[in-house]
């Protein structure tokens, strides 16, 4: 069992480029697992964690409803936004500047083989991070992600989640609104859930901007604690490496 996780902060990157990079890491791990079993090898399975910020983009999960995107192609272009249908779970969501997006590409057989537990750990990482800012994040029954004032008329989602897993290897992940422009969520029915608002950490704290580097450090700390993992920080990935 390899509990070492290679961490890379990609900075601001195009969604499609990072999606393809995720797919590359994901497939390399799956292929290695298949080779291990076929050839009865004991090669160590790698784990990766990517942090990234995307230009404005809307993504629809494989079971999502395109009707939850409320604007057309011309309106998307006017807002400097793009749209992709992707292979994660969940419905539609938004990514953009001021949002920390995390993509763990883990072999869960290095940790535990339980997708439900995996999602709860991702939620707990965010809940613990928010608590450091005096914000109470909670879960909402039947709705993956992290919420504020769940179960009340003021419920609002601050962190969305959607994952894919095959042979216990994960990809996609979470998106935490830190300094996000919440106006972009007006163009969708977030996660396909009507009547629920969204939140961003800076708005909840009543400040113009929260230190995103500090938030990332907290997320990493709690991720390592929950997964009992060793985080190895790698140099940022260059554009050439992504291609």
Domain total in the chain: 1
Tell me the pLDDT tens digit for each residue of 100-147: 999 999 999 999 999 999 999 999 999 999 999 999 999 999 889 999
Please report whether residue 67 resides in a domain: yes
| Integer CA distances (angstroms), 90 to 99, 118, 131, 192, in order | 18, 15, 26, 8
Please report whether residue 45 resides in a domain: yes
Domain that holds residue 196: 4-236
Please report whether residue 205 resides in a domain: yes
Q: Which of 21, 8, 19 is nearest to 240 (CA)?
A: 21
Please report whether residue 54 resides in a domain: yes
Distance between CA atoms of 86 and 172, rounded to whole angstroms?
10
Residue 243: what pLDDT? 43
pLDDT at 173 over 70: yes
Q: Which positions make up the binding site for substrate?
A: 88-95, 160-162, 173-175
Provide the CB-side half-sphere exposure for 204 (13 A, CA). Answer: 24
The CATH number that applies at residue 229 is 3.30.930.10
Please report whether residue 241 resides in a domain: no
Q: Which positions make up the binding site?
A: 88-95, 160-162, 173-175
Please report whether residue 149 resides in a domain: yes
Q: Looking at the annotation, which residues are catalytic? A: 191
Tell me the pLDDT tens digit for each residue of 44-92: 999 999 999 999 999 999 888 999 999 999 999 999 999 999 989 888 9
Coil, strand or helix at 6: strand
Element spanning 49, H or E:
strand 48-53
Residue 235: what pLDDT? 72
Distance between CA atoms of 85 and 79, rounded to whole angstroms?
18
The chain-wide mean pLDDT, for the chain, equals 93
Please report whether residue 55 resides in a domain: yes
| Token pair in block for residue 3 | 């509990």
């Amino acid at each position: 069992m390899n509990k070492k996780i290679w961490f890379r902060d990609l900075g601001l990157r195009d969604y499609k480029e990072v999606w393809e990079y995720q797919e590359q890491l994901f497939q390399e791990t799956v292929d290695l697992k298949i080779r291990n079993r076929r050839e009865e090898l004991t090669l160590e399975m790698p784990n990766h964690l990517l942090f990234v910020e995307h230009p404005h983009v809307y993504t629809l999960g494989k079971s999502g409803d395109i009707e939850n995107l409320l604007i057309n192609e011309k309106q998307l272009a006017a807002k400097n936004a793009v749209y992709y249908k992707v292979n994660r779970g969940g419905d539609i969501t938004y990514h953009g500047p001021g949002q920390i997006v995390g993509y763990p590409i883990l072999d869960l057989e290095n940790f535990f083989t339980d997708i439900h537990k995996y999602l709860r750990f991702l939620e707990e990482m965010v809940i613990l991070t928010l608590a450091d800012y005096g914000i109470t994040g909670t879960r909402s029954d039947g709705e993956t992600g992290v919420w504020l004032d769940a179960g009340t008329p003021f419920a609002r989602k601050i962190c969305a989640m959607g994952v894919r897993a095959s042979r216990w290897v994960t990809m996609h992940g979470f998106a935490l609104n830190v300094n996000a422009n919440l106006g972009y969520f007006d163009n969708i029915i977030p996660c396909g859930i009507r009547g629920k608002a969204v939140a961003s950490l800076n708005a909840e704290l009543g400040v113009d901007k929260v230190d995103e580097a500090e938030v990332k450090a907290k997320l990493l700390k709690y991720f390592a604690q929950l997964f009992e993992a060793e985080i190895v920080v790698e140099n940022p990935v260059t554009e050439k490496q992504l291609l």
